[in-house]
Structures are given as structure tokens and as C-alpha cells.
């Protein structure tokens, strides 16, 4: 399960966000974008020392500053059940499947391999060929 899909499932639920500087934000998640930037409503901010508190109507948190996200258990269970549902990309065209594009953004990882050479060991880059097989209703590599 990917973190962004989990965060998108948490929209409308209460969350607790801990920042790298130690502050914590408790509120209802309204929105999450691709960079994990969050928008929270009815926010209670706690200082890093835990001795000061602030109430805000709305807060925007930059994703690069997030250290931890505490989500309710109901979000985790609903996202697990939706992850086990069949994928809608299972009916891609044969050309897309042959080219390895059945799932957008899924590119074979390049591996660096050391090979013996006359002058010693040399690192070379090898890109593996994808091998696909059909399993139930989704593609598995």
C-alpha cells in the first residue's frame, strides 16, 4: 500500500501530525496533495515542549516537514480492504502489456552490477527485461 493512497483515504478523519521540530498538530484532514502537503481544519497545535497550545481554524502543513502521521484504525482497515479489491487496469490493451505499460509509472529498476574486467572490477548498468504473467485480475511482475 502506498502512503499517498493511505493519506487520501484519511481525508475527513481526525489525524495527528508531528513535525520535525517537535510540534504536533491535531485536526481533521481536509486535503492531501502529491507532495504530502496537508490541510487540516479545527487544529490544536502543541509546542515541542508540550507546555503551550494554540487553536486554529485551518492549518497548512508542508509535506517535507512531517515526521510522523497518526491515523485512526478505521482508515487503515478501510484502505486495506480497498487495496485487496481488483484493479481496474487489468483490461489494458495487449500492446501496453507487451511494452510493460499495463500499470502507469511501473518501470523496471536499473541495477548496477559489478563485472570482472582485465584491469579489475568495473561497474556497469543493466536494465532487466520485464516478465509479466496474469494473476487473477491484475498484473504481477
Query: What are the tens digits of pLDDT across the range 25-51?
Result: 999 999 998 888 999 999 999 999 999
The CATH number that applies at residue 19 is 2.30.30.100
Residue 98 resides in a domain: no
Least confident of 9-18, 49-58, 70-79: 70-79
Residue 138: inside a domain: no
pTM of the model: 0.56
Spell out the residues 6+ positions from residue 7 whose beta carbon is closer than 8 angstroms to its own. 29, 32, 36, 38, 69
pLDDT higher than threshold 50 for residue 135: no
- Per the structure, how many domains does the chain have? 1
More confident residue, 17 or 87: 17
pLDDT bracket for residue 2 (50, 70, 90): low
Specify whether the CB–CB gap between 115 and 122 falls below 8 A.
yes
Q: What is the DSSP string of 100-128?
A: T-SSTT--PPPEEEEEEETTEEEEEEE-P
User: What digits encode the pLDDT tens for the residues 92-121?
Assistant: 455 544 444 444 444 444 444 445 555 555
Q: Which domain holds residue 19?
A: 3-78
Amino acid at each position: 500500500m502506498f502512503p499517498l493512497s493511505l493519506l487520501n483515504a484519511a481525508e475527513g478523519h481526525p489525524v495527528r501530525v508531528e513535525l520535525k521540530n517537535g510540534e504536533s498538530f491535531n485536526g481533521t484532514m481536509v486535503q492531501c496533495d502529491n507532495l504530502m502537503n496537508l490541510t487540516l481544519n479545527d487544529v490544536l497545535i502543541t509546542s515541542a515542549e508540550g507546555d503551550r497550545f494554540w487553536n486554529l481554524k485551518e492549518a497548512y502543513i508542508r509535506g517535507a516537514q512531517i515526521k510522523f502521521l497518526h491515523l485512526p484504525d478505521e482508515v487503515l482497515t478501510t484502505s486495506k480492504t480497498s487495496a485487496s479489491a481488483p484493479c481496474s487496469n487489468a483490461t489494458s490493451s495487449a500492446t501496453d502489456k507487451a511494452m510493460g505499460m499495463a500499470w502507469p509509472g511501473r518501470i523496471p529498476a536499473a541495477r548496477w552490477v559489478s563485472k570482472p574486467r582485465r584491469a579489475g572490477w568495473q561497474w556497469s548498468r543493466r536494465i532487466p527485461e520485464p516478465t509479466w504473467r496474469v494473476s487473477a485480475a491484475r498484473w504481477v511482475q
